[in-house]
Amino acid sequence: MKQISEAFETRLTNGAATTCLCWRLERPDGFTVGLTDHDRALTFGGVTYSPGVALSAARFETAGGLRPGRASGDGALIADALTEADLATGLWTRARVHVYRVDWQAPDDRILIWTGFLSEITQRGDQFEAELISLKAELERPVGRLISRRCDAALGDARCGLAGVDGQSCDKRFQTCRDVFSNAENYRGFPHLPGQDFVLSGPAAAGNDGGRR
């Protein structure tokens, strides 16, 4: 439940026209930018929110349960904030986003209405359109490695460890890694992983057989 002051709640209930949106964008490298759709700068929480450069036409979708919510918006590229070069190199990919509804007459009166990440950013000339995903989307992100008999390294990358293999291909099997490339020590799969037949087979009928089927 979002906690706000009683006075601010009353103003919101009465349709107060002194509120604006403020966006705090935090890149993965820690660089933070504050933006607002108000016509003058606002400062709260140690961040200054610059006027006239916030995402416009913001649309928020809140999902129930564990399904990720989404948001989107568009705005102009800013020379000292969201530059075309930074967007092109992916510096803002998965930047953390906090969106506040703020009383610009008293910035301490505010409510956090959205928290998520920048996902897809599309550029059209000097404009950009941003897709945002909520924190719930983290629950859908794969964590760790996929356990498989086949190797999950790319031929010639740092995990594979081979050099001078441009133009060659690998079928990711252990036998190929060992016999063709002599690179068994860097194999990034699990060639001795039991197969489905082993897992589904029942216990041996003759009793304890020492682990053999």
Q: pTM above 0.85? A: no
Domain contains 164: yes
Residues 161 and 83 in one domain: no
Domain contains 208: no
Cα distances (angstroms) measured from residue 16 to each of 1, 9, 58, 110, 142: 21, 10, 19, 13, 43
Residues 55 and 124 in one domain: yes
Domain count, the chain: 2
**Edge-to-edge, what's the strand order for the sheet holding 70-76?**
42-44, 47-51, 32-36, 19-26, 96-103, 110-124, 127-134, 70-76, 56-61
Domain contains 98: yes
Residues 76 and 92 in one domain: yes
Q: Is the pLDDT of residue 167 over 70?
A: yes
Dist. CA 115–CA 213, nearest whole Å: 53
Where is the domain boundary, 94, 118, 140?
140
Residues 177 and 126 in one domain: no
Residues 22 and 72 in one domain: yes
What integer pLDDT is reported at residue 20 of this predicted model? 85
Residues 86 and 169 in one domain: no
Higher pLDDT, 200 or 157: 157
What integer pLDDT is reported at residue 1 of this predicted model? 43
Higher pLDDT, 188 or 12: 188
> Residue 148's domain spans which residues?
144-198
Dist. CA 30–CA 46, nearest whole Å: 14
Residues 50 and 124 in one domain: yes
Mean pLDDT of 28-49: 90
Residues 125 and 20 in one domain: yes
Residue 128 maps to which CATH number? 2.30.110
Residues 24 and 126 in one domain: yes
Domain contains 1: no
Mean pLDDT of 32-40: 87
Is residue 186 very low, low, confident or very high in pLDDT (cuts 50, 70, 90)?
Answer: very high
Residues 57 and 95 in one domain: yes
Domain contains 181: yes
Residues 120 and 155 in one domain: no
